[in-house]
Amino acid sequence: MNVTFYTSLAYSNPLCVFWQTKVELVGYVIIIFLSITWCRIKWNRRLIDRFAAKIPGPPSYPLIGSLLEFRGTSQDLVAKMIKLNEQYGPEPCKIWLGSSLALYVMKPEDIQIILNNSNALDKGKFFKFFSGAFGEGLSTAAVPKWKLHRRIISPFFNNSHISTFLSVFNEKSVALICNLQKELNNTESFDIYGYVFTISVDGVCETSLEYNHDVQDNEKTEFLDSMTKFTELVTMRITMPWLYPDFIFNIYGKFTGLNQIYEKLFKFPNKIIKEKKFQYAQKKKTSHSSLNLTKNEKKQRKTLLDVLLEINNEEANFSNKDLRDEVLTVIFGGVESTTITTSFCILMLAIHQDIQDKVYDEIYQIMGEGDRIVTIEDTVKFVYLEQCIKETLRLYPLGAVFMRYLQDDVKIRNYTIPKDTTVIISPIGTHHLPELYPNPWKYNPDNFNPEKVAKRHKYSFIAFGGGPRNCIGEKYAMLFIKVLLSTFLRNYSVHTKCKMSDIKLKFDFIMKSVHGYQVTIRPRERKPTY
């Protein structure tokens, strides 16, 4: 009765009636606005929805898409990707990344079309998640800026210039041998990753920044720790669509110390860039032709930063941030590719003693008994060693996936993929297709003998990507890895209790072994095994 009384009183009050009517009107306007917006979105993406309806894929839910299927740890993520490959491969399948459609392709024929299409050069919004650290470096830049920077930086990675770093690679390889001596009497296995990582960092920093590893070690360690923490945060963000909006991620970053991570990450390269720019200006005043280089050997051996500063003086207009973005991109890519590939390859050779013996015999036949350093001619002759490296990258590619955002429709075989679709290309998927590689989880360097390579599609092996936007540092990384491995195997034999079935993978932007790379080493007797 009291409720009825107050209700009737409210309706009899003109002011209450006015406000109630106004609230109802606003509510109707909001509902109509949302309905129109939803209809407009559905109309604009009707082609995408129509296309997606024809493609199989894991379950999808409102707002979060298929990402619920990929929740879990970084180890769970790799396991679920492998399961996806087995369930849907080799035909394309769809994955909803929040409300965005992604098409997952594994066949080499499809991959070739995508990677070489001019409308598929953009890496999409997920790579922009890394722009906080790498800015607009080669791996994250929008297409126009990428084209310009790629043209400018490419000469640094040509064969003739990379060969000038051979003395650095040899020096670092000898340092690796010396550092490992403490493990010779150790009967317990150790993780070789840390040793290779230290050497890779020194080699890449010296060739990109002319960094002297005897100084600023605290700054270097702080820099590398920050890079690791940043990649972990971004990898986590990819699987959590509620963190996709930048303003939400920035709020989340305040609680996780993201700004402090950036500060420590930028401190080291900013300091080196500042010093090098000052040196370059001084040299220019005294009319010397190159930065901090002597007239003979060092005049030809220019670091990445040297090249960028010289080109900047002639034609480019790089800001300090542009320089830092490119240096950070090269350091991260160079260190990770060299360290993880070398560590995985050593572990593979430790597990497969017969293959290790065959690699050593090849090295022995080429280099003999002495302790001479590796030459460019030697690296060309390391044919079986290269097969082992490529087979390692086939089994355990550094990048489990990479993406391309379509700026126009692209046709592959029986499909026309609509614009605004993200295409996911998975090396770990393609590299483990049984029709390409029989018994795909077996380590078999003969997969890369010339006869078998000639029979397979060119894009059956995409460890370094493909097309115009492939990895620019492939030759650099392969040369460094060859020198490291050949020097290591001349001095040590490597052993392990680990089996192939013991290896578990995780995805922290780069694919790694969960349990590290546990091995033991023994002094190598300088004679062939045959």
Q: For position 85, what pLDDT does the model report?
A: 86
Domain ranges (residues) in the chain: 45-523
Q: Report, as an integer, the average pLDDT of 194-212.
A: 86
Tokens of 1: 């009765």
What would the 3-class secondary structure string for 106-135 be? Answer: CCHHHHHHHHCCHHHCECCHHHHCCHHHHC
Q: Tell me which DSSP letter residue 91 carries.
A: S
The answer to whether 176 and 480 are in contact (CB under 8 A) is no
DSSP 396-429: S-S-S-EEEE-SS-EEETTEEEPTTPEEEE-HHH
Q: For position 111, what pLDDT does the model report?
A: 95
- The string of pLDDT tens digits covering residues 468-490 is 999 888 999 999 999 999 999 99
Q: For position 360, what pLDDT does the model report?
A: 96
The answer to whether 210 and 292 are in contact (CB under 8 A) is yes
Between CA 75 and CA 506 the distance in angstroms is: 4
Q: Which of 29-38, 81-90, 358-367, 475-484 has the lowest mean pLDDT?
A: 29-38
Q: For position 2, what pLDDT does the model report?
A: 56
Strand order in the sheet with 93-97: 93-97, 100-105, 422-425, 402-405
The answer to whether 168 and 201 are in contact (CB under 8 A) is no
Query: Average per-residue pLDDT in the chain?
Result: 84
Tokens 């300088």 label which residue?
526
Top pLDDT among 218 and 342 is at: 342
**Burial bucket for residue 443 (CB in 10 Å: 0-12, 13-18, 19+):** buried
Q: For position 146, what pLDDT does the model report?
A: 85
Amino acid symbol at 107? K
CA distances (Å), origin 239, targets 50, 95, 152, 429, 489: 25, 12, 35, 19, 40
CA 124 and chain centroid, separation:
15
Q: For position 154, what pLDDT does the model report?
A: 86
Q: For position 41, what pLDDT does the model report?
A: 62
Q: Which residues contact 341 (CB under 8 A, 6 or more apart)?
A: 389, 392, 393, 398, 477, 481
Strand order in the sheet with 518-523: 190-191, 518-523, 492-495
Tokens 């609230």 label which residue?
23
What would the 3-class secondary structure string for 256-288 be? Answer: HCHHHHHHHHHHHHHHHHHHHHHHHHHHHHCCC
Count CB-CB contacts under 10 A for residue 465: 18
Could you tell me the CATH superfamily of domain 45-523? Cytochrome P450 (1.10.630.10)
Strand 422-425 versus strand 100-105 pairing type:
parallel
Amino acid symbol at 425? I
CA 219 and chain centroid, separation:
23
Q: Which of 36-45, 63-72, 489-498 has the lowest mean pLDDT?
A: 36-45
CA 290 and chain centroid, separation:
32
pLDDT of 291 strictly over 50 = no
pLDDT band at 359 (very low <50, low <70, confident <90, very high): very high
Q: For position 13, what pLDDT does the model report?
A: 62
pLDDT of 10 strictly over 80 = no
Tokens 């780069």 label which residue?
510
pLDDT of 431 strictly over 80 = yes
pLDDT of 5 strictly over 70 = no
Relative orientation angle of helices 320-351 and 383-395, to the nearest 10 degrees: 100
pLDDT of 6 strictly over 60 = no
CA 349 and chain centroid, separation:
24
Q: For position 522, what pLDDT does the model report?
A: 94
Amino acid symbol at 338? T
Q: With CA atoms as reference, report the closest residue to 325 among 313, 333, 315.
A: 333
The answer to whether 430 and 402 are in contact (CB under 8 A) is no
Strand 93-97 versus strand 415-417 pairing type:
unpaired
pLDDT band at 38 (very low <50, low <70, confident <90, very high): low
**Burial bucket for residue 349 (CB in 10 Å: 0-12, 13-18, 19+):** buried
Tokens 């986590």 label which residue?
236
Q: For position 318, what pLDDT does the model report?
A: 77
pLDDT of 294 strictly over 50 = no
Max Cα separation, the chain?
106
